[in-house]
Amino acid sequence: MALNSSSASATPMNPLDIASHGPVIPVIVIDRVEDALPLAEALLAGGVKVLEVTLRTAAGLPAIEAIARNLPEAVVGVGTVLNADDARRASEAGARFAVSPGYTSEVGGACKGLNLPLLPGVATSSEIMAALADGFSFLKLFPAEAAGGIPLLKAWASPFGQVSFCPTGGISLATAPNYLALPNVRCVGGSWLTPADAVRAGDWARITQLARETHALRKAV
């Protein structure tokens, strides 16, 4: 049985709270629901508390529900939110925040109606302006490396001084510190914490070690 939306929004967060728990949000793709709990436990053991489980597979929603029910210490959210129905189903499953690869007012309005903090994706100045017009100022640059990466974020700092970012896409443990050094970057998103081969093999110790290395990164102040 899915969690109801009221339980999902019982402890509403300011969107910036998503970035307050650590420098990196893991972008998690789960193929088997039975991997959800040991994977989440491995990340928590390494100090990574905020978990973005994507809707790229059929296991995504049940995985979110399993983590939300059994690991309340985790801040589990939903990624790859493309429409209002995605947001509603994820909220009912227990997601505490949502992440979208792009931005539409439909998704923004749905998440506001659900009291579900949204980290909207942007790749252009026009998308930033649309998100700002709807009240969103903490945004995900996606796909970060392909869209322009650090030079683009530096260029946006002047016209969009009120905006902070979570760059995601093509970032690694080696390059994350370069992004975190930027004043307009709050955190980064990355899939390197949960390599597909480690998840398939149930190598949770490897994932915990990757989480420890990632959690040791520091946001420049």
The residues carrying an active-site annotation are 52, 140
How many whole angstroms from its chain centre is CA 187?
A: 10
What token pair was written down for 193? 């914490």
SS3 letters across 5-68:
HHHHCCCCCCHHHHHHHCCEEEEECCCCHHHHHHHHHHHHHCCCCEEEEECCCCCHHHHHHHHH
Q: Distance between CA 164 and CA 10 in Å, rounded?
A: 26
Residues 76, 49 contacting (CB under 8 angstroms)? no
Residues in CB range of 141: below 8 A, 6 or more apart: 121, 122, 123, 147, 152, 153, 165, 166, 167, 168, 169
Beta partners for residue 185, in sequence order: 165
What token pair was written down for 45? 């053991």
What token pair was written down for 194? 């949960």
